[in-house]
Every structure is written in C-alpha cells, then in structure tokens.
A and B are shown apart, each in its own frame.
Chain A
C-alpha cells in the first residue's frame, strides 16, 4: 500500500513568518493529495487539496505544491497567525479507485507564537 511520510513533526514560528510542511509518498499511482487541519480538541477538517495534474494551488494564505517526479508535496502557510496553530496532516490516495481510502502522514504540530 501507500506510505506517506511527513516532516517535521513539530514546527514553531513567529507570527507573520512562513511555515512549510513537507510530505513524501511511495505509490506513483496516487493522484490526490489533501491536507487536513486539526485544532486542539477538534476534528480534522480539509483545508486544501491538490490533484496530480496540477503543480500548485493557492487559497489565500495557504498553498500546496506537488512534485510528481520526486513524489513529494508541501503545504506553505504565509503570514502565519496564532489561529494557524494546529496539527496538520497530509494524505494521499488514488482518486477514482474503488477504494477511496486516504493514507495519512503522522502529522505536524504547528505553533505560531505572537
């Protein structure tokens, strides 16, 4: 099956700085890469995703990039704010497969200091 590795496991930044979280995947057939944010004590929620036919996608202060050749993808958060503090999970799957299950990375605890 797919194996998703996520780094770093913890990340601390000053408010206003940028944060980058990186993930690698093993299955070259994976074609859908979502990112989930989980605030303390809350459920994970989808914040952005990218499909394999796109190299980059932006949504306000967050962006994802994908390098299919190297099999890695990254989450970029600019102008970080204290409310960005959370655990972020990357995931990978074959969209369009009959299974539809996601393979998650182990998560990154992001702390934004005011």
Chain B
C-alpha cells in the first residue's frame, strides 16, 4: 500500500517550459488536491477534484491546469512556467465527508520540489 505517490520529486525548469506533475493514490479516495507550499505562506490550494472527471479551482489556480481522467490519478500541469511558480508542490487525497470512514484526514504525498529559472 503506497498511499499517495508524486512524480517527479525534483525538477528544474526554464521560464516558459511546460511540465506535468503526476499524483497517484491507491486508497480509492474520491477527493484529490494539489497544494503549493512557500515559506511563511502555509499550504495554499491550487486545484482540487471531488471525483473522476471533475476539477475545481482553489485559492491560487492561475498558471496551472489539472485533469482527473482516472480516479486514482490527478495531474497538475504548468503550460508556461514562471519563476513565481518555484515552490514545493504537495498532492493530497481524502474520503468525501458524506462517506465513512471519513475522518477529515488528508493523506499527503512526499512533495515535488520545482525550481523555475
């Protein structure tokens, strides 16, 4: 049982390049999230998904796109990377609140450190 797995773990990009971060979970969670973490800013929600085929914007969605074609995967894309997107990105998943054994707990991946030069 791997939990939440993110790839890649590290990446360096040049301004204007594109890339995709992949998140995979094996806990059959319906909800999945992408957060970015910057010093002193906490965890800010970029996009989230409440089920296969659905996505929604979070607090800081600009410059990012997401897709949830399969329940277990949630992809985060940067079409044209900017230095302001240098950050550590965390994927997380959870059960929906209407279903047991929902505890409200988010299960996080190990993080992906992205540097944009």
Taking Cβ atoms with an 8 Å cutoff, the residues of A that contact B are 6, 9, 32, 34, 36, 42-46, 49, 89, 93, 95-102, 104-107
Taking Cβ atoms with an 8 Å cutoff, the residues of B that contact A are 31, 33, 40-45, 48, 50, 58, 90, 94, 96-98, 102-106, 108-111
- Residues from chain B with a CB closer than 8 A to the CB of A89 are 42-43
Report the bound CA distance from A6 to B42 in whole Å. 10
- Residues from chain B with a CB closer than 8 A to the CB of A34 are 104-105
Q: Please tell me which one of the listed residues A6, A36, A96, A102 contacts residue B98 in the complex, with CB atoms under 8 A apart.
A: A96
Output the residue of A34, A49, A100, A107 with the most chain B CB within 10 A. A100
Report the bound CA distance from A107 to B109 in whole Å. 18
- Residues from chain A with a CB closer than 8 A to the CB of B108 are 43-45
Return the 8 tightest CB-CB contacts between A and B, nearest first.
Answer: A106-B42, A43-B108, A104-B43, A100-B97, A46-B105, A104-B42, A107-B42, A32-B104
A73 to chain B: closest CB distance in Å? 14
- Residues from chain B with a CB closer than 8 A to the CB of A98 are 50, 96-98
Report the bound CA distance from A100 to B48 in whole Å. 10
- Residues from chain A with a CB closer than 8 A to the CB of B98 are 96, 98
With A49-B103, A95-B104, A100-B96 already in contact, the answer to whether A43 and B109 are too (CB < 8 A) is: yes
| B43 contacts A101, C-beta separation under 8 Å | no
Report the bound CA distance from A95 to B102 in whole Å. 9
Report the bound CA distance from A109 to B32 in whole Å. 26
| A43 contacts B110, C-beta separation under 8 Å | yes
21 example contacts (A-B, Cβ-Cβ < 8 A) are as follows A6-B42, A36-B106, A42-B110, A43-B110, A43-B111, A44-B43, A45-B108, A46-B105, A93-B104, A97-B97, A98-B97, A98-B98, A100-B96, A100-B102, A101-B45, A101-B48, A102-B104, A104-B43, A104-B44, A106-B42, A107-B40
B42 to chain A: closest CB distance in Å? 4
Report the bound CA distance from A101 to B44 in whole Å. 11
- Residues from chain B with a CB closer than 8 A to the CB of A93 are 104
- Residues from chain A with a CB closer than 8 A to the CB of B110 are 42-43
A5 to chain B: closest CB distance in Å? 11
